[in-house]
Amino acid sequence: MAAIYLAEQKWNVALNGRRSDESVEQLVTRLRQYGGEAHFFAGDVSCREQAVRVVRNVTEQLGRIDLLVHAVGPFIRERKWFVDHSPEEIEQMISGNLLSAMWMAHAVLPKMREQKWGRIIFFGFGRAGEAPAWPDRSVYAAAKTGLVSFTKTLAVEEAPYGITVNMICPGDIVGEKKEMRRSEVAGLEDPETPRGRPGSGEDVARVIHFLAADASDFVTGNMIHVTGGLDVIHPVSKKHARSPL
């Protein structure tokens, strides 16, 4: 939805993923219908070399990169205690949620500094800035809270170059709701969310558009919650308890 929303506002859009498929090709075609350029660039940006290649290819195709929306973030829906995670899962969660953000930022920042203008947006979760305990989500939470510090640090380091760095922390916007408009969820009920309705992809896209604006240059280093007031953190484990050995 963020790509569609920005394309509607006449932004040129570069999409990234590990590989293309029919749905990606359809999205690129749709984005081009709004009048701007749209391209897909394959690459696993949790790998430094591939992140550098993606940024180089985007720059060669579009001329510059003004906005980086880092929406990479593997998440394991199954509730797991840390001890139950495999080493491969731990590496995947840290690489996907933290290292990929660092590699992409490291690749785009030199060009943004040359331009004296840039916007970087990462994604976290509600209350990530507090580094709270999040039982059953230990590795994901560790990666995202590390990303909070990285966001705040980059915001300070890059401010003199006209570059802002912020984090959006969505609520429980999952599945098809990620691609829905506000008008499509306005009539739906969500008893868990204080706002009373579920969130939509457009709710997040509107914040991205605001942060990408030239006039938002004084907004940097922030964790912006788009949650409808929902607190996703559970103070105790919801995984079935088991007796200690």
Count of domains for the chain = 1
Q: How confident is the model at residue 172, as a pLDDT?
A: 87
239 confidence band (pLDDT: 50, 70, 90) = confident
**How large is the average pLDDT for residues 108-126?**
97
Amino acid sitting at position 52: V
Q: How far apart are CA 134 and CA 54, in angstroms?
A: 33
Task: Supply the CATH number for residue 119's domain.
Answer: 3.40.50.720
pLDDT band, residue 167 (cuts 50/70/90): very high
* 235 within a domain of the structure (yes/no): no
> pTM of this prediction?
0.94
Specify if 219 maps to a domain. Answer: yes
Pairing verdict, β 13-17 and 38-42: parallel
Query: What distance in Å separates the CA atoms of residue 59 and residue 12, rounded to the nearest whole number?
Result: 12
Inform me whether the pLDDT recorded for 125 exceeds 80: yes
**Residue 91 lies in domain:** 2-226
Q: Is residue 234 part of a domain?
A: no
pLDDT at res. 123? 97
69 pLDDT more than 80: yes
pLDDT at 236: 87
123 φ/ψ angles, rounded to the nearest 5 degrees: -125, 140
CB 197 within 8 A of CB 188: yes
Q: Which helix (H) or strand (E) holds 226?
A: strand 223-226
Q: Write the DSSP assignment of 100-122 as a string of letters.
A: HHHHHHHHHHHHHHHHT-EEEEE
Residue 242 lies in a domain: no
Is 239 among the domain residues?
no
Q: Which residue has the tokens 């906005």?
A: 67
- pLDDT: which is higher, 232 or 183: 183
Report if residue 175 sits inside a domain: yes
- Catalytic: 140? yes
Decide if 231 is inside a domain: no
Pairwise CA distance, residues 137 & 245, whole Å: 22
Beta strands in 18-143 (DSSP E): 38-42, 67-69, 118-123
The rounded mean pLDDT for the chain is 95
- The type of residue at 41 is F
Q: Which of 192, 61, 175, 17 is nearest to 184 (CA)?
A: 175
Q: What is the pLDDT of residues 194-236, one digit of tens each?
A: 999 999 999 999 999 999 999 999 999 999 999 999 998 878 8
Name residue, tokens 């507090």: 130
Give the rounded percent of residues in the chain with a pLDDT score beyond 70: 98
Decide if 64 is inside a domain: yes
Q: Which helix (H) or strand (E) holds 14?
A: strand 13-17
**Residue 124 phi, psi dihedral angles, 5° rounding:** -135, -150
Catalytic-role residue among 5, 34, 140, 161: 140
pLDDT of 118 above 90:
yes
Q: What is the mean pLDDT of residues 110-121?
A: 98
CB 143 within 8 A of CB 122: no
